Amino acid sequence: MDIFCSEVQPFVPLNLHEVRFWLRIMKEHSLFIKLGLPCDQTDLIREAQEFYNVFEDLEKTVCRVSCETDLKRLIGKIIVAVKNFFCYKRHLLHLLIECRIRGGANYPLLIDHISREAMYFLKILEKIKCDEMEYPVDSIVSENVFWLRIMADHLKFIRGLLDPSEREVWNTSNALSDKFDQLQLHARDFDSMLWHIRPNNDFSRFETEVTNSMVELREFKVTAEELIKECAVLSLIPPLLADHVRREAEHFLEILELIQNEMDDCHQQKIVCCD
Ligand SMILES: [Fe+2]
Ligand SMILES: [Fe+2]
């Protein structure tokens, strides 16, 4: 299921690592939006800058926090900021898809993409109310659907921002984009097939395939980032955007490891029960 469905809950726990990761991501989103707006959109540019300041302040405050108890006191404030930013992103998306803003460099799909990331962060923060997962498999599969779509989008953004002369890199990103589209469709099949049950061996094999593809994608992003920094590939991709999408790929790899550990634990419990 998609992240906007009310029943969808991220598998990852609410902790300092997640909050620090996403606050930096939110701060960078406000910068990307600001840089991509047409210069006559002064109100939206000002608002984007205000969000940048809000998330920069929250990031600094959370960096000083050393324990989960102190973090919990800040969650309410972070939820308000993320909710406001989500509404701003959706408002901007509506302006773009109805052509009430023309020009600039913000693809509508990019704004939709970063609004999905804000919703995902919001749902992690809302785990403060209830951390119990009745059916972990539902969260595990939804986590795959969410991240595989994010990864497929990144490849489409990279492909769309490359200079048309960069045919080889374009072909590589296009082939990887097709691969991640297929993986995302496969994850959606598991979404209904495994609903309210438990991971099976076929899903285990799928997770290995996802992890291998993610290692390949991370390598592609690392290389792309180096080439962009050295100005050895022509594109409209700022180095910070290349760094941003590479960090998101690394984060998904960490989550895949968490999922793998959970599946190993389930497997062990099954063996103990059978013995
Ligand atoms: Fe992002
Ligand atoms: Fe992203």
CA of 268 relative to ligand 2 center, distance in Å: 34
pLDDT in tens, 132-189: 888 999 999 999 999 999 999 999 999 999 999 999 999 999 999 999 999 999 999 9
Q: Which ligand is nearest to the CA of 23?
A: 1
Topology given in CATH for the domain delimited by 133-275: Ferritin (1.20.1260)
The overall pTM is greater than 0.85: yes
CA of 202 relative to ligand 2 center, distance in Å: 28
Topology given in CATH for the domain delimited by 1-131: Ferritin (1.20.1260)
CA of 118 relative to ligand 1 center, distance in Å: 9
Q: Where in the chain is the domain with CATH 1.20.1260.120?
A: 1-131, 133-275
Residues 6+ apart with CB under 8 A from 244: 25, 28, 32
CA of 153 relative to ligand 1 center, distance in Å: 10
**Residue 88, number of CB atoms within 10 A of its CB:** 21
CA of 60 relative to ligand 1 center, distance in Å: 19
In the structure, what pLDDT confidence band is assigned to residue 131 with cuts at 50, 70 and 90?
Answer: low
CA of 201 relative to ligand 1 center, distance in Å: 32
CA of 62 relative to ligand 2 center, distance in Å: 22
pLDDT in tens, 166-176: 999 999 999 99
Q: What pLDDT does 173 receive?
A: 98
* Residue 52 in this model has a pLDDT that exceeds 60: yes
* Residue 273 in this model has a pLDDT that exceeds 70: no
* Residue 267 in this model has a pLDDT that exceeds 90: no
* Residue 57 in this model has a pLDDT that exceeds 90: yes
